[in-house]
Amino acid sequence: MTVIFGIAAVLAFLGALGVVLSQRTLYSALSLVLNMVSLAVLFLLLDAQFLAAVQIIVYAGAVMVLFVFIIALLSPGAEERVRPLELRMLLGGVAAVVFTVVIGRLTLNGITVGPGGRFHGGIGPFAPTVVNAHGQVQTVGEQLFTTYLLPFEVTSLLLLVAAVGAVYLSKRRRLVA
Amino acid sequence: MSWPILAVILLVPLCGAMLLLVVPGSRSGVIRVVLATVTAVTLGLSCVLLVAFLAVPSPASSRLTGTANGQSLTTVHSPVTFQFQEQVNWLHTSGSLSRFQPALNEGNNAFNQSGPPPINFSFHLGVDGLSVWLIALAALLFLVAAVVLSRKEPHLKAFAVLMLLSEVGVIGVLTSLDLVLFYFFWEAALIPLYFLMLGWGDERRGRAAIKFIVYTVAGSLFMLLAIIGVYFVTGTQTGVYTFDVPTLIAAQSFVQTIHSTTFSLFGHSFPALNPQDWLFLAFALAFAIKVPLVPFHSWLPDAYSSGRTPFLVFFAGIVSKLGAFGFIRYNLTLFPQASHFFQPLLMGLGVASILYGALAALAQSDIKRIVAYASISHLGFVVLGIFALNVDGLNGAIIQMVNHGVVIAALFICVGIFEARFATRRLADLGGLAKAMPVMAGVFLVVALAGLGMPLLNSFVGEFLILLGAFQVSPAWAVIASLGVILACWYMLRMYQGLTQGPLRAPGASNEESVVQLAVQRIGRVDLGPIELVALAPLVALMVVIGVYPAPIIRYSRFSAAQYVQAVDRGSLAKTSDRTVTPPGSSYRGVG
Amino acid sequence: MTGLFPGFLILSAGLFSVGAVGVLVRRNPLVVFMSIELMLNAANLALITFARYTQTMAGQVFALFVIAVAASEVVVGLALITGVYRSGRRLDLDELSEMSE
Amino acid sequence: MNPTLILVLSAVILGLPTAGFLVNALTLGRLPRRLVAWMGPGVVLAAFAATVVTLISMLSRPATDRGITIVFWHWLNASVASGSGVSAQAGFNANFSVRIDPLSVLMMLVITGIGGLIHVYSVGYMAHDRGFNRFFAYMNLFITSMLLLVMSNTLVFLIIGWAMVAFASYALIAFWYDRPSAVVAGRKAFVTQVIGDVGLVLGAFLIFLNLRGPAGNLLHTVNMQTIFANVGPGAHFHNGLGAYGAGLVTAIGILLFLGAAAKSAQWPLHTWLPDAMEGPTPVSALIHAATMVTAGVYLVARFHPIYQQAPVAAAVVACVGIGTALMAGIIGCTQYDIKRVIAYSTMSQIGLMIFAVGIGAYSAGMFQFFTHACFKALLFLAAGNVIHSLHDDQDVRLMGGLSRRMKWTYWSFAIGALALSGIPIFAGFFSKEELLGNGLALGPAVPWLWVIGVSVNVLTSFYIFRVVWLAFRGEPRSEHAERAHEAPPLMLIPVMILAGLATVVGFLNIDFAGFAPVTVFSAFLQPVLGSPHSQASAAIAGLALLAGVVLSLLGVGLVWAVYERGLIARDLISKRAAWLYRLSFNKFYWDEIYDVALVRPTVALATTVRGLIEPNLIDGAVTGIREVVGTLADDFRTFQTGYLKDYALVFFFFAVVGLVVLGLRLS
């Protein structure tokens, strides 16, 4: 278990670095695919099989294909190198490292879950065994259509708006710059 | 009234604005018709409200049972009652809401609980004798503004939509009975007003709009803090955590704030301000900016002189009343002790506004600025009347708020008419126009006379009652304030005579024919047109009717005025006797 | 298994940081978009981790919503990018900026 | 008196001129002139007829039962009864009610009667004026306002009428609005009147807030009958008003008199009246001679119960009155504008009336008002005939020799002058000598005020006969004067009616300390104003009467000696006592004093507010804040590159900082 987590985590992190550091856009996109597949594995580890599937299908499938299409369409050239030690880079890097360190410190020392833990909220009824017995997809579905019905509907509206917007934006006419 | 009339009054302009959104911007005729219809319907509904207000018996006042500092259980009635209450719970953070629900109809014991207070506020509307007239006035002025709105106004549709949205905001401020809701409407009204100021007017409108928004937002931020402060101060002292206005008003009976601590400065000792005083000042600042009282008025002349006439009709006519309304509704009821403590300060600011506005008006050369400063002067009277903290002053202030709305709107229409015809606002450029436009001169005369407080016209009633109220508190203030009446006569006549009397002159014209020709070229006529007459007629009629027979308005306002006085008197049990003119026992207030 | 809880979170934070740096330093809008996706995914990971360890469903459901939002965002964003490209400009965020004086 | 009848009559009396005004105003000057020429005077004369009916109905009742109060409507009531959780609170309340009693009927008779004649005269005088309809609208409005003033039984409505006549007066003074001088004169009159109004309002506040009933309870009333019933001895005002102390009644008396002084052109609020002659002459006759300017006399007479309780205030009234009479008399001797001379004579005569009501001779003061209304209207209208025929020349130096060309006008004017001077058998003789005679027995500083008053007689007859001589006798001194012609009948008949009245009305009250007393007038007013007061003994009164007549004749003789015979050089005074002449010619410099002391400081203050305080202090504070903020913003500006990513970077950076802080606290 730990081994799988270690491999997937390293791969995901490498993928992420690849996205940011690659010179060519296509390499970035491919790194992102690596990252997402690794994440899907991690989701499986967390007993979220449904989401792992969605991750693969939506992200690695649809979204990344879209990215690659666009890259192929526009064929943007290599970006000029990020100027090293630029203020931006420096601040951003420092902030990123500090952020990770702080989170790490917090999680290692502070946050625990379960009864008596510092993380409030208690333990819910959805233990992995229960969920799996009922069925992963069924559980998520029931939640979606009962407790989270309104957000779900709003999300559908959002998707619709996005679709309309995309169609509108990519119509062949002069865009407002 | 079995249907929620207040919510409907709020919804009509909102729906009107939405309806206008789908009308194509090029159909200016349709836009004007829709706008006029919507505002007319709103006016009609507010008239229904007026009629129903007296027919419906005043409801039993809100009751609240509580303990003063954990001592003993007592029941108090809210001294101020509201009619046509509509309440829908809007947001609450605790499952055990019922424990903290405002005790509107039955007493409850929501005290001394521990743990963090729940936050709950509701969509709570209601009116009293103070707001019912202001709603009607607002509806009327929006209709008048819709009438004077020219079809050639650029971006007519945007103007109309923004206008209706500001109507929603204004009426919302007047009807809301929940502090959060009130604050919401207060700010919501600001946004369309800002854009109206920014988008239409002369070349200095940008600066004026920025000034306005910075001023008012600065003021209302303090008010927001104070709203939260009221919530906690009242909560910790009485155990009632609520934003509900009637409940809060009732709860103030339990709030004890005595100026016991002092600090010394230069060898004198002064009472130190307690939280109530700070909250009072924060509210007062927001309202003083909106009114505006004198040191906070610098946004007003720019805003009033750069705006377009239809905008000014409702902006000057009703928006400035919101500040005075806030003073009465919130400062007097929520901080009775602080109201007494700061009475001299606020009366002083009122008198200062009266004189300062009048003097400044006397020296202006721009006719719109004259009216702007005149407005400051008139509103000084309103604040003076409010902080007389007695029946006469409050009645006077209420009636004067209505009067000022009518008069200032009419004045801006008149001044706008001159500006439209002769393309100048300089008093020195114009003169003797009564010859070219006799009807206009006659109407303008009535309006100017109302502006200077002529008896048998409306302002006299208000100013008389306000001065009477102030006189009971301090004859000296009243005498100084009455100098403002003399100055008002001076600056109004200076403007009226400067425009209509003396030798005829207008820029680019020397004799009567050329003046007429010039105006006809510019807008097609010289004397009053039918639309302008239709817009001015109800205002002028109101001036005369209120002046000759003010009893109906007082009939609405006196009950509420008495209630507000009673509410604020809770804070002055010790001070009552030395504040009234007469010795106790046969007090003018006639206790009993 | 409980021992891995901090691990998931630290990974999530690390991915988020990397994505954030990407957003901050890269000038190619496509790469910036991918970095945003990275950040969203990091957040998803955190959500699912918490869901798993508190034995609730909310995290999973919200991760689902995040995926939906991300998808629609990408769609609109890419449409914008093609629009900008078609209008003949270079795909460089710093040069596209209209806010600088 | 039948209340219903009186209700109808008073509604008619008030309503007719109102209707005349409204019809004229709302038709926006489109009515045909002929209709207006009938309607304008018609409504006033009809009101006069109604007043006469009222008088007859009143005379049919015993003297004790001649007062009636009629409530028209509740104006406002701010009091709240207890109930619905509100305890009872007393607020301001007032009715619109009118009082019909001998005093108000007398005033109404003068207002509608003489007013009606002047309206008729105006039809001729204004016949060719462009603003004919506007003129009659304002005139009718004035009549309404003046009637409201004298009929009102409510202090508030008295104030309303008070202010409305001020407006009507303003509108009529500035009637020829393209003359800048008329515009300024109108404004001056209005502002002065408003000062008086404020005094009246403050006085009303004091009464309203402090009047107590027999049981010691506060009455809170503005009902004048209630006020009068409760101010007498034994039912005093409460003296608890802090700084006002025992002087409360005095303060009320002085404040009310401030209103009276503004209206009646008494010092120190007198400077508007001479300037008001810019208005058309009928206006001067109606407003600035017969009716409005005497409202102050009416006010003091009406409020005599208060002045009887306030001897200090009454003494102030008397002294101001006699002082104004003297001052105006001196000024009148050196003026050349025919209307201004008459205006100063009005000021002087009203000074005498004010003196009379100040010393407590109310009925004598009212009688002088009554006769004065007749002969002063006569003088103005006759002067109007002269001005009309001279094409608006008003300077007596440009006249001369008019007696031959305008015979009727001449004789009418002469009768007016005789009446004004107090020459026996003419109206002024009876009223003025009676009035002055009271000064020997009543009031402060007996008999010195009488001495001043009686010496004013010399001045009076001197200045008015000086006008008679300069204008009507001698040779014409201008082209216009040579071509002068008699006025048309429409303007002559009212003048002659008034001349007749000025001759006979004096016989209504012959009351010289027991010589053949005829007391129709004072007996009529007795129910309101009380019995005439005890007078000086018959011998002294007789001597005083003789002195008055002799001094009046002395004035006429002086004119004869100076202007007819040239026995005394005309420039005697201007050479020997140049300071006196200059003082008189420049009207005691009051205009200049007020200009320097009041007008200019106010204007300077206003200009300072506009030019200095507004832009620098008020806006400056705002601009200052903006600059401070702006400077701060400049410091931060290096962050504001305009690149979205830099903003995001800053945001991210500080988010991390926040997280660190949070983390340190949590762990």
Complex ipTM more than 0.85, yes or no: no
**Amino acid at the residue D583:** L
Q: What is the mean pLDDT of residues B578-591?
A: 34
Domain hosting A31: range is 1-82
Does residue A10 lie in a domain region?
Answer: yes
- CB nearest A16 (choices: C19, C80, C91): C19
Task: Tell me whether residue A166 is in a domain.
Answer: yes
Give the CA angle between residues D604, D606, D609 to the nearest 5°. Answer: 110
| B565 CB neighbour count, 10 Å cutoff | 25
From residue D126, alpha-carbon distances to D184, D186, D384, D388, D609 in Å are 22, 19, 11, 10, 44
Residue D233's pLDDT is what?
Answer: 60
Q: Do D644 and C101 touch (CB under 8 A)?
A: no
Express each pLDDT in D192-236 by its tens digit.
888 899 999 999 988 888 777 776 677 788 888 888 877 766 545
D644 contacts in chain C (CB < 8 Å): 93, 97, 99
pLDDT-derived band at B383, boundaries 50, 70, 90: very high
The answer, yes or no, to whether residue B470 has pLDDT greater than 50, is yes
Rounded Cα–Cα distance for residues D349 and A149 (Å) = 95
Q: Which residues of D touch B511 (CB under 8 A)?
A: none
Does residue B13 form part of some domain? yes
Average pLDDT, chain B: 81
Give the pLDDT of residue B257. Answer: 57
B269 within 8 A of B254, measured Cβ to Cβ: no
D159, D605, D618 member nearest B298 (Cβ) = D618
Q: Where are the beta strands (DSSP E) in chain C?
A: none
Nearest to D659 among A88, A92, A99 (CB): A99
Reported confidence tier of residue A113, pLDDT bands at 50, 70, 90: low
Residues of A with Cβ-Cβ distance to D667 under 8 angstroms: 105-106, 109-110
Please give the angle made by the CA atoms of D18, D24 and D28, to the nearest 5 degrees.
Answer: 140
Q: Retrieve residue A13's tokens.
A: 């992190």
| Residue D40 CA from chain centroid, whole number | 23
| C-alpha to C-alpha distance for B254 and B260, rounded to whole angstroms | 17
Q: Are B552 and B161 in contact (CB under 8 A)?
A: no
Label residue D182 by pLDDT band (50, 70, 90).
Answer: confident
Whether the Cβ atoms of residue D392 and residue D484 lie closer than 8 Å to each other: no
The DSSP code sequence of D237-289 is: PP--SGGGGGGHHHHHHHHHHHHHHHHTT-TTS-THHHHGGGS-HHHHHIIII
**Residue A90, in any domain of the structure:** no
**Per-residue pLDDT band at B40 (split at 50, 70, 90):** very high
D497-549 pLDDT per residue, tens: 888 888 887 777 776 655 656 677 777 777 777 766 656 667 777 777 788 88
**Domain assignment of residue A115, yes or no:** no
Query: In this structure, are residues B457 and B446 in contact, taking their beta carbons and an 8 Å threshold?
Result: yes
Where residue B98 falls among pLDDT bands split at 50, 70, 90? very low
Query: Average of pLDDT values for A132-158?
Result: 87
- For chain C, the domains span 5-97
Contact A98 D663 (CB under 8 A): no
Domain that holds residue B451: 5-59+127-258+271-578
Chain C CB within 8 Å of residue D633 CB: no
For residue B31, is it within any domain? Answer: yes
Taking the Cβ of residue D643 and every Cβ of chain C, the question of whether any pair is shorter than 8 Å is answered with yes
Phi and psi torsions of B269, nearest 5°: -105, 135
Domain-located, residue A60: yes
- A1 and A77: one domain? yes
Structure tokens at A28: 């970035």
More confident residue, D569 or B373: B373
Q: What's residue B173's pLDDT?
A: 94
Q: Which residue has the higher pLDDT, B564 or B584?
A: B564
Which uninterrupted H or E stretch holds C85? helix C58-86
- 10 Å CB burial of residue A3 (0-12, 13-18, 19+) is exposed
> Is B240 inside any structural domain?
yes
The 10s digit of each residue's pLDDT in D235-256 is: 455 544 333 455 778 888 889 9
Backbone angles phi, psi at B367, to 5 degrees: -65, -35
Domain C5-97 architecture: Orthogonal Bundle (1.10)
Q: A 38-77 residues with CB below 8 A of C?
A: 39, 42-43, 45-48, 50-51, 54-55, 58-59, 62-63, 66-67, 70-71, 73-74, 76
Residues B383-395, mean pLDDT to the nearest whole number: 91
Is A66 a member of any domain?
A: yes
Q: Using the beta-carbon criterion (under 8 Å), do C97 and D648 form an inter-chain contact?
A: no
C 15-54: CB under 8 A from A: 15-22, 24-28, 30-31, 33-35, 37-38, 41, 44-45, 48-49, 51-54
Contact B520, B526 (CB under 8 A): yes
Interface B-D, measured as beta-carbon pairs within 8 A, has a size of 198
Chain CA centroid to CA D615, Å = 41
Mean pLDDT, range D315-327, rounded to an integer: 88
At residue C16, the pLDDT reads 92
CA–CA distance, D645 with B306 (Å, rounded to integer): 39
- Which amino acid type is present at position D472? F
Contacts of A155 in chain C (CB under 8 A): 65, 68-69
pLDDT number for residue D398: 77
Q: What is the pLDDT of residues D390-445, one digit of tens each?
A: 777 787 777 777 777 788 888 888 888 888 888 887 887 878 877 777 777 777 77
Judged against a pLDDT cut of 60, whether residue B532 lies above it is answered with yes
* Residue, of D489 and A45, whose pLDDT is higher: A45
Q: Which of B97-101, B174-178, B325-329 has the lowest mean pLDDT?
A: B97-101
Q: Are A14 and A71 within one domain?
A: yes
Give the pairing of strands B120-127 and B83-92: antiparallel
D84, B392: Cβ pair inside 8 Å?
no
Residues of A in contact with C1 (CB under 8 A): 1
Asked if pLDDT for residue A110 goes beyond 80, the answer is no
Which of A82, A114, A146 terminates a domain? The answer is: A82
How many structural domains is chain A composed of? 2
- Tell me the per-residue pLDDT of C34-71, one tens digit each, with 9 for 90 and over: 999 999 999 999 999 988 888 888 888 999 999 998 88
- Give the confidence band of D469 by pLDDT, cuts at 50, 70, 90: confident
- C93 to chain D, closest Cα gap in Å: 8
| Count of the separate structural domains present in chain B | 1
Q: Which residues of D touch B555 (CB under 8 A)?
A: 77
Per residue in D347-395, pLDDT (tens digit) is 888 898 888 888 888 888 888 888 888 888 888 888 888 888 877 778 7
Per-residue pLDDT at B71: 43
Mean pLDDT taken over chain D: 81
For B53-82, how does the pLDDT look when each residue is reduced to its tens digit (9 = 90+)?
A: 877 655 555 555 544 444 444 555 667 778
Q: Do D92 and B392 touch (CB under 8 A)?
A: yes
pLDDT of residue B64: 53
